[in-house]
């Protein structure tokens, strides 16, 4: 999945066996972009932080991303 598919700001691709691994790769990438103060990624992070204010919305968001991951073909 790409950074954008996971709610980020770029086309960097992540490859993982599980959604949890995918989420961790995305998190690491996000931390790198935060350290670089990348404006597009910071904006994407603000949107995720807004979702985090409502646990129900955040759970729904993660389940949608998990389903997208599960729907991907195995390569």
Q: What are the residues facing 2 on neighbouring strands?
A: 13
Burial class (CB in 10 A: 0-12, 13-18, 19+), 33: buried
- Give me the helix-helix angle, 39-52 and 55-71, nearest 10°: 120
- Give me the helix-helix angle, 39-52 and 19-35, nearest 10°: 130
Q: Is the pLDDT of residue 18 over 80?
A: yes
Give the model confidence (pLDDT) of 29-72 as tens digits: 999 999 999 999 999 999 999 999 999 999 999 999 999 999 99
26 in Cβ contact with 14 (< 8 Å)? yes
| Rounded-to-integer distance, Cα 10 and Cα 17, Å | 21
Domain boundaries, the chain: 19-71
Q: Token digits for 17?
A: 């066996």
Give pLDDT, residue 42.
Answer: 97
């Amino acid at each position: 999945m790409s950074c954008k598919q996971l709610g980020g700001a770029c086309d960097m691709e992540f490859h993982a066996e599980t959604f949890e691994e995918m989420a961790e790769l995305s998190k690491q990438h996000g931390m790198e972009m935060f350290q670089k103060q990348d404006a597009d990624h910071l904006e994407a992070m603000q949107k995720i932080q807004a979702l985090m204010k409502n646990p129900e919305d955040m759970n729904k968001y993660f389940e949608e991303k998990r389903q997208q991951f599960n729907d991907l073909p195995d390569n």
